[in-house]
Amino acid sequence: MSKPIGERGARAFFQRPYPVLALLFLIYMCNTMDRNIVAFLAEPIRRDLNLNDTQLGLLTGLAFAFFYTIFGVPVGWLADRVGRVLTISVACVVWSVCSMIGAVSASFSHLAIARVGVAIGEAGGTAPSYALIASKFPPERRGSALGLFHVASPVSAFIGVALSAWVAANFGWRMALIAVSLPGLLAAAALFLLVREPKRPEIVEHAGPPPSLLASFGDFLRHPVLRLCFIFAGLTSCTSHALISWLPSFMMRVKGMTLLEMSAWYSVCNAVAFGLGLWLGGVMGDRLSRYTPLAYAFVPAVSLAIAMPFVLLAVHAESWTASLLLWMVPLCMSGTFLAPAIAIVQAYARPEQATVFGSIYLLANNLVGAGLGPLYVGTVSDVFKQSHGMEALAFGMLALLPVMAIAIAGQLLIARAIGRNRAAFAKSA
């Protein structure tokens, strides 16, 4: 018996590139809200559970990123075989439920265990989404599509900060954690019911069995461009992850913002600045790559160079309003690297390795950037706390400057590696 025309039409609509991108956008919004909710609520959680900055850095950084990266590569390899749609849907349910479980935490260890569950769930979300987007968009439009996909992060930050700050101010941080985590269950159901796993004839025609996980890892690291992407991914993302994790605390603790002011002002500025950077990185990378593929590395290098003086000015600004406006530039510039980096990785990946290559890249990006970046800032803050009190966090933020300088050098090395064999890049793309 054939399906009703309306049902066939709806299913057909959600196989098109932009409707699929829209659903993945919603999934990624839930992903980043659940990932960053502890950073949004850092101050009330710190006071309630009596945590120090190193513990907060672990919760928002290494404790999450370690398990995220450990599970990310095998889950990405599995997704290339069992299906990306199924993997993303199941993963979204897992991380949403674990995020809600964090609301009943009574200590650092309880909350850390819940965050590990969130990390394991989110390991199956991002890399399969990259591969699904790459299967729907041609190479010359992938950077822009990936940029739009990553705009979900600041949009979720806007909604997450506004919603969690308002709920926390009126009902407490535990209820805020639950409120932010619930939408993930609905988004997972929508993706699973509406989007079919795309056919991949390239894999069927590929001679021999699909590469093993170890073989895929070796293929990635043997590639001269991808090897440099792996090495410098984390350093480049240190700035964005540290800002996401620590700017709410910095603005409240050092500059005197309240929870309600965070809800009204920080949420908007963060969403606009970071969203613009993520979108701009993809668009600029695609447009400038028409002239040279080196643009995918030059765009983040120039962006970080622009951001550095504004970090210094924002830390020393007299008022929270001036500081917040100045922070918008580093927030924007630090987001430009992600879409170009993923475009490079997907350009060099064979179809049967698209997800696992994305997972390998994210391993370095998250273990160093998301794992050590927030922990690094928190540790520097604790070192200066005895002598500078609440102002110590300013030293942690300034400690990002040398990391940014090294990341710029790394992006220039990636550009040189692409330039040495431009024909290979054009053929892979």
**pLDDT tens-digit profile of 138-177?**
777 777 888 888 888 878 877 877 788 888 888 888 999 9
**Higher pLDDT among residues 202 and 311, named by residue:** 311
Q: What is the mean pLDDT of the chain?
A: 84
pLDDT at 351: 72
pTM of the predicted structure, to 2 decimals: 0.70
pLDDT level of residue 128 (50, 70, 90 thresholds): confident
Q: What is the mean pLDDT of residues 14-35?
A: 89
The amino acid at 393: L
Report the percent of the chain where pLDDT is more than 70. 92
pLDDT at 1: 46
Q: Which of 28, 31, 55 has its CA nearest to residue 42?
A: 55
CA distance 338 to 150: 8
pLDDT level of residue 77 (50, 70, 90 thresholds): confident
Q: Which of 335, 222, 221 has its CA nearest to residue 272?
A: 335
Q: Which of 116, 129, 131 has its CA nearest to residue 69?
A: 116
- ∠ CA 275-312-245, nearest 5°, is 45
pLDDT higher than 90, residue 93: yes
Instruction: Tell me the two tokens of residue 404.
Output: 């940014």
The CATH homologous superfamily to which domain 14-195+212-428 belongs is MFS general substrate transporter like domains (1.20.1250.20)
Report the percent of the chain where pLDDT is more than 90. 27
